[in-house]
Homo-oligomer: A and B are copies of this chain.
Amino acid sequence: MLGSSLVKNNPTLLVFVPLFYTVWSDSILTPSEVSTLEGFLNAQDWINEQEKKFLLSKIDPGHPPTIEELSSWKTAITQIINGSKNRETLVNLGIKLASLQGDGTISNTLEKIRPSLAKIETTLGLISHEAIFNFQGGHNTITSEQGTQHNFDVNELTKILDGDQADIIRKVKTLLSDPEFAYVDAGNLDLYRKQVLQWCKFLAAQGYGAMAYPKAFGGGDDMRAYFTIMETLSYHDLSLVVKFGVQFGLWGMSVYFLGTEKHHTKYLKDIGSLELPGCFAMTETNHGSNVKGIETTATYNHANKTFNIHTPNEFAQKEFIGNAACHGQMATVFAKLIIDDTDYGVSAFVVPLRDKKGKILSGVKIKDCGRKMGLNGVDNGVIAFDHVIIPKENMLDRFASVNEAGKFESPISSDNRRFFTMLGTLVGGRIGIPRSGNAASKTGLTIAIRYGDQRRQFGPEGGSEVPILNYRTHQRRLMPLLANTYALHFALQYLTNRFINRKEEEMQEIEALAAGLKSFATWNTTATLQECREACGGKGFLSENRIEILKNDTDIYTTFEGDNTVLMQLVAKSRLTEFRQEFANMNVFTILNYVADKAKTGITEMNPITVRNTDENHLLDPEFHLNAFKYRERAILTSAAKRLKRHIDSGMDSFDAFNVCQHHLVKTGFAFIERVILEKFIEQVEQTQNEGCKAVLKRLCNLFALWQINKNKGWYLEQGYMEGVKTKAIRKMINQLCWEIRQDAVPLTDAFNIPESCLAAPIARRS
């Protein structure tokens, strides 16, 4: 077009070049675009018939311009753009182009047609704006320029995270960084399992295995440090963590908590040194969550004061038992205690499985569970007992025993209470596992966030490519999970403190806390590692980058130590019980109405101004967050209680009533635990002295709170607790917080201070 003699005669025709280039360059010229342009050309009196025909030929879908022609158009436009400092429109560009070629006389014509040309450009919509930006080669954008900043002291934040455990953390990390702890190929089961056992022995040699046991039995008498060790090991191989937990936690702690001094004296030292590898044999093929239903029997024979441990059918085999397939020499076996044909419920017994040389003992059958989704360094097995005889003293007799007369005895008369008290002592597992899972989240996020900060893809036309962490969807994928991980860190510290300083009467509450945090944290780990995998694309799929291994190893965390869905119902039931106790002196109906009314009307934020308040200060106010969480917790609990009561009053079996409300109960559990997490996070922010750390923690806490509220916005809107204008403002604020936290994201993962040798992923390598 530029070289045509028609254009030479009438340079005003050049005004169409930018428009024509734009419609041709991007996509197929659509019929409606053609007709718009045709209509326009037909209406112009300054174009003669020949020129019109020429112009129409340039927008004939059947005859696109040649490559050379398009290229010459682009060159002409780019020259104009590069000489201009203002933001241009296609029409402006066309006018400038025409003016340059023509003499001064054409400017009148150009100004006359400007409005109708502008209308065409508007009709083309976004495409024209994009085109303009695309002509400006190498320009920068806000998106391109975002990057990692250093707004706070990373070491200070690490100190806050580590607290008084910094010393043991440092020691464990130093050990893990030793070349002996180099990762091995997870494909070879045999080698992997041997390596993991060897690693456990190194740890035992440092006294880490016995850390929680009394000093009298070779231990460190430091339960808090034991949990810290579990957590810190979780930056490394998770098979190691689970093997460690099976040996020193499940096997050792069951002897410690369910046994009495004779057992402690006899076993604890060898357990702590790993001289005596053992198992925790509770789960059976047919009974996992429903422990009460296990069928293995321990039948007492008073004649020779022995128990006969027996697996009555194949579904009563002990299944998924860690340490069983290869290394376990003994096991704490949970079985129904039978005395004189009477079933006294579940008790625990120490049963030998193998001799010192590893030979399986007579009457014991062990099968290997084989390859699993993850944790392949742990030798899970299936155990069956064929009338194995053990001496009477092998009964772990803290909560139940057989007396000298051969009769059942227990300090707890209620069967139910005895059972739950026994299980309650094992609550430590529900602290260790979520702490391990949250550490795996930290590793996954460190890898994915470093990768997102370095990996560039797409960018403004002609500009450099942009780190993918600058994209909003990428930020929304990872920043809220980073906030969750921080929130859980502090909540799990709180849970640990409560457990360490527990009093008898707090046990129910601590058990509910542990069950709820275990569920929330491990589900969060699964979700986090899934996002991390996807956020790293194909790189995340390669085993060398470790996200897949972390994901596969921790996937079972949502199942073991209690299936999360079952646990959340336990939390809810515990809440219902507390609820009942709190108002024991009032009639239930009165209570329900009272609470409901109070929750609905007594709170300031339910007033018409607050439900629509979108002030930034309000949206970022921890008091608003906590009130919203508390309101939800209370309201859901109340409505669950009401619903259960209504169903039961109408004649429904309580089992059915609980089933009908099951989903509601799970939500009740969530609402409780989310409130606890937020409360502890807010407390942490408040007590943080260092200004930089305080500021970044506050942003994370805000994001945690608003993300949860946004997740439940349907519920808040249903309740009239917020109006749409407020939930929309919250959505916007979340985007803003993600955008801000992105700048701190790399330092925030640096503060986890995970040894580089543990991260190991090539994509997380510092460039």
> Which residues in A have some Cβ–Cβ distance to B below 8 Å?
24-28, 30, 32-33, 35-36, 64-67, 69-70, 87, 119, 122-127, 129-130, 132-133, 139, 141-144, 185-189, 283, 286-290, 293, 319-320, 369-374, 408, 410, 412-417, 420, 456-461, 463, 465, 470-474, 476-477, 505, 508, 526, 530, 533-534, 537-538, 540-544, 548, 551-552, 555-556, 558-560, 563-565, 569, 576-577, 580-582, 584-589, 641, 644-645, 648, 651-656, 659-663, 666, 710, 713-714, 717-720, 724, 727-728, 735
Contact check: which of B32, B473, B548, B559 meets A581 at CB < 8 Å? B32
Contact check: which of B27, B69, B289 meets A577 at CB < 8 Å? B27
A sample of 15 cross-chain residue pairs with beta-carbon separation below 8 angstroms, ordered by A number, consists of: A25-B415, A27-B420, A65-B413, A122-B588, A123-B585, A123-B587, A126-B641, A127-B577, A144-B655, A187-B188, A289-B458, A289-B537, A320-B541, A473-B662, A718-B724
Contact check: which of B133, B287, B415, B533 meets A655 at CB < 8 Å? B133
For this chain, the copies found in one complex come to 2
A718 to B544, CA, bound (A): 45
Q: In this complex, what residue of B is CB-closest to A533?
A: B555
A272 to B87, CA, bound (A): 55
- Let me know if B414 and A24 touch, CB within 8 A: yes
CB-CB < 8 A to A408: which residues of B? 67
- Let me know if B414 and A666 touch, CB within 8 A: no
- Let me know if A30 and B413 touch, CB within 8 A: no
CB-CB < 8 A to A185: which residues of B? 371
- Let me know if A584 and B123 touch, CB within 8 A: yes
CB-CB < 8 A to A645: which residues of B? 125-126
Contact check: which of B124, B139, B718 meets A727 at CB < 8 Å? B718
CB-CB < 8 A to A124: which residues of B? 580
CB-CB < 8 A to A719: which residues of B? 724
User: Known interface pairs A139-B653, A526-B530, A559-B537. Does A64 touch B580 (Cβ–Cβ under 8 Å)?
Assistant: no
Give the Cβ gap from A144 to chain B, nearest Cβ, in Å: 8
* New A-B contacts (19) at CB < 8 Å, excluding given A126-B644, A374-B541, A461-B655: A24-B417, A25-B417, A26-B416, A28-B417, A28-B508, A32-B585, A67-B410, A122-B588, A123-B584, A129-B654, A187-B189, A373-B542, A470-B659, A472-B662, A534-B565, A538-B560, A713-B718, A717-B718, A719-B724
Q: In this complex, what residue of B is CB-closest to A293?
A: B465
Q: Which of A287, A565, A576 lies at the interface centre, i.e. has the most chain B CB atoms within 10 A of its CB? A: A565
- Let me know if B187 and A735 touch, CB within 8 A: no
- Let me know if B581 and A542 touch, CB within 8 A: no
CB-CB < 8 A to A32: which residues of B? 581-582, 584-585
Q: What are the 8 tightest A-B residue pairs by CB atom distance, in nearest-first order? A: A373-B548, A718-B724, A32-B584, A714-B714, A717-B717, A713-B714, A460-B655, A371-B543
Give the Cβ gap from A44 to chain B, nearest Cβ, in Å: 18
CB-CB < 8 A to A370: which residues of B? 542-544
- Let me know if B129 and A648 touch, CB within 8 A: yes
CB-CB < 8 A to A289: which residues of B? 457-458, 537
A27 to B581, CA, bound (A): 12
CB-CB < 8 A to A142: which residues of B? 652-653, 656
User: Known interface pairs A64-B412, A413-B69, A581-B30. Does A290 touch B663 (Cβ–Cβ under 8 Å)?
Assistant: no
A342 to B319, CA, bound (A): 67
CB-CB < 8 A to A558: which residues of B? 534
- Let me know if A413 and B24 touch, CB within 8 A: yes
Give the Cβ gap from A421 to chain B, nearest Cβ, in Å: 9
Give the Cβ gap from A451 to chain B, nearest Cβ, in Å: 12
User: Known interface pairs A141-B656, A288-B537. Does A565 touch B473 (Cβ–Cβ under 8 Å)?
Assistant: yes
Q: In this complex, what residue of B is CB-closest to A288?
A: B537
CB-CB < 8 A to A293: which residues of B? 457-458, 465
A628 to B19, CA, bound (A): 38
Q: Which of A26, A67, A123, A655 lies at the interface centre, i.e. has the most chain B CB atoms within 10 A of its CB? A: A655
A410 to B69, CA, bound (A): 13
- Let me know if A538 and B714 touch, CB within 8 A: no
Q: In this complex, what residue of B is CB-closest to A286?
A: B456
A537 to B561, CA, bound (A): 11
